[in-house]
């Protein structure tokens, strides 16, 4: 089937005074999308052979088990002999059309565009899912199935899934000074207190999901492209909150290492590639700008104006750390590198004429 996206949405809008409220449901489905399927993987029914798969086809153990070379002159392993096409190594069906995507979202917007205060706020509550999600031809971004013989188990959260995203943009021309609501006068009062603008950009969103992967011990037994970990049924998250994370304290863990276990050497993992609770901590970020505008040389409508500006990035100086999410790693669940830079300030001036 040809690749196809189906999109739909329902919007309800209402104005209330100077505010516009927009509520929407947005959904789409993708089918027949590009994907990469290994078609020369060994059938998992042979996993019961265990380490015999890695032995040479001419070994006594393999011969005793009743296996023979698939063609004259073959000298590879038993696993290679059991491939659908033993004369080839890895064979991948590019753009196979097995990829599927699902997206459902509730979106809310609030706008105020009149007067001294400008506001644009949006909130999205969504779920993104994928199955053998698409391969970008130029970047080779792709996900291989754990078991090419059972693609029905390959539906999981998409790696771009972020269930909560809140964006707020504010700009306030402070109504003080000549022609404004308060202290409507020129002179020194207007020069000092007039012409100020306060703006803020706030962004709050869920952390990125991480793959529930395990060391691929099947790469030379089944020639599978990936392997998942097992879930144990234990609680995934610990009691530690985002604010408790400290890279210098090894006792603080964001995730419970007992929630996952590595499968046996010749076993598939039971977990989905991406699961809802296995994601980086949420990110809270505020950037603030303060501007002062004043006339340098008043020349009618073409007066020369100066704008002084100070920008405060990560205004509240929040600590947001990345967490080690490598299952089986000794530092699993610990805070590692920072996700946000510490607060810093830039200042500048611009002339307009």
- Beta-strand ranges (E) seen in 17-98 are 19-33, 36-38, 92-94
Q: Which residues contact 96 (CB under 8 A, 6 or more apart)?
A: 34, 35, 36, 37, 132
CA-to-CA separations, 214 to 92, 271, 272, in angstroms, rounded? 22, 10, 12
Q: Helix (H, G, I), strand (E, B), or coil: what is residue 208?
A: coil
pLDDT in tens, 218-237: 999 999 888 999 999 999 99
Q: Is residue 86 part of a domain?
A: yes
CA proximity to 224, closest of 31, 57, 95, 46: 46
Residues 65 and 194 in one domain: no
Inter-residue contact 51 to 77 (CB < 8 Å): no
Q: Is residue 176 part of a domain?
A: yes
Q: Which residues pair with 237 in a beta bridge?
A: 255
Q: How far apart, in whole angstroms, are the C-alpha atoms of residue 233 and residue 98?
A: 31
Show the tokens assigned to 173. Answer: 């021309």
Q: How far apart, in whole angstroms, are the C-alpha atoms of residue 16 and residue 5?
A: 35
Q: Is residue 208 part of a domain?
A: yes
Residues 171 and 80 in one domain: no
Q: Is residue 153 part of a domain?
A: no
Residues 85 and 170 in one domain: no
* pLDDT at 137 (0 to 100): 53
Q: Quote the number of domains for the chain.
A: 2
Q: Is residue 310 part of a domain?
A: yes
* pLDDT at 136 (0 to 100): 55
Residues 79 and 174 in one domain: no
Q: Which residues contact 212 (CB under 8 A, 6 or more apart)?
A: 228, 229, 231, 260, 269, 271, 272, 273, 274, 275, 278, 327
Q: Is residue 306 part of a domain?
A: yes
Q: What is the pTM of this model?
A: 0.86
Domain boundary pick from 90, 115, 148: 90
Pairing of strands 36-38, 92-94: antiparallel
Residues 86 and 170 in one domain: no
Residues 302 and 194 in one domain: yes
Number of neighbours of residue 143 by Cβ within 10 angstroms: 23
* pLDDT at 300 (0 to 100): 65
Residues 207 and 312 in one domain: yes
Q: Which residues contact 211 (CB under 8 A, 6 or more apart)?
A: 159, 273, 274
Range of the domain at 176: 163-213+232-260+279-353
Per-residue buried b or exposed e for 101-125, using 16+ beta carbons within 10 Å of the residue's own CB? bbbebebebbbeeeeeebebeeebe
Q: Which residues pair with 267 in a beta bridge?
A: none
Residues 352 and 204 in one domain: yes
Residues 54 and 188 in one domain: no
pLDDT in tens, 3-30: 899 999 999 999 998 999 999 999 999 9
Residues 202 and 310 in one domain: yes
CA proximity to 160, closest of 192, 178, 136: 136
Q: Is residue 181 part of a domain?
A: yes
Q: Which residues of the chain have pLDDT under 50?
A: 138-139
Q: How far apart, in whole angstroms, are the C-alpha atoms of residue 111 and residue 16?
A: 10
Q: Is residue 252 part of a domain?
A: yes
* pLDDT at 299 (0 to 100): 66
Residues 337 and 243 in one domain: yes
Inter-residue contact 205 to 282 (CB < 8 Å): yes
């Amino acid at each position: 089937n040809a690749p196809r996206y189906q999109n739909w949405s329902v919007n309800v809008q209402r104005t209330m005074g100077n505010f516009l409220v927009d509520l929407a449901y947005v959904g789409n489905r993708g089918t027949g999308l590009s994907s990469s399927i290994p078609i020369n993987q060994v059938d998992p029914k042979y996993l019961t052979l265990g380490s015999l798969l890695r032995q040479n086809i001419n070994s006594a153990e393999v011969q005793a088990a009743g296996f023979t070379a698939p063609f004259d002159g073959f000298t590879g392993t038993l696993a290679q002999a059991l491939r659908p096409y033993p004369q080839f190594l890895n064979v991948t069906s590019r753009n196979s059309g097995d990829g599927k995507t699902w997206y459902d979202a509730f979106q809310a917007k609030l706008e105020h565009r009149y007067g001294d205060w400008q506001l644009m706020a949006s909130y999205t509550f969504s779920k993104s899912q994928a199955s053998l999600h698409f391969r970008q031809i130029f970047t080779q971004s792709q996900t291989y199935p754990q078991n090419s013989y059972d693609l029905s188990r390959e539906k999981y959260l998409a790696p771009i899934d972020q269930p909560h995203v809140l964006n707020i943009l504010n700009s306030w021309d402070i109504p003080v000074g000549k022609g404004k609501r308060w202290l409507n006068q020129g002179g020194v009062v207007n020069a000092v207190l007039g012409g100020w603008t306060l703006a803020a950009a706030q962004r709050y969103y869920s952390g990125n999901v991480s793959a529930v992967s395990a060391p691929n011990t099947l790469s030379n037994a089944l020639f599978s492209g990936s392997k998942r970990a097992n879930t144990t049924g234990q609680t995934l998250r610990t009691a530690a909150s985002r604010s408790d994370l400290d890279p210098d304290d090894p006792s603080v863990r964001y995730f419970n290492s007992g929630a996952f276990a590595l499968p046996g050497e010749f076993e598939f993992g039971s977990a989905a590639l991406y699961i809802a609770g296995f994601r980086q901590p949420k990110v809270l970020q505020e950037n603030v700008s303060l501007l002062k505008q004043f006339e340098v040389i008043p020349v009618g409508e073409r007066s020369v104006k100066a704008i002084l500006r100070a920008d405060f990035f990560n205004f509240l100086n929040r600590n947001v750390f990345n967490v080690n999410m490598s299952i089986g790693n000794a530092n699993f669940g610990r805070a590692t590198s920072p996700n946000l830079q510490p607060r810093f300030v830039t200042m500048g001036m611009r002339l307009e004429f």
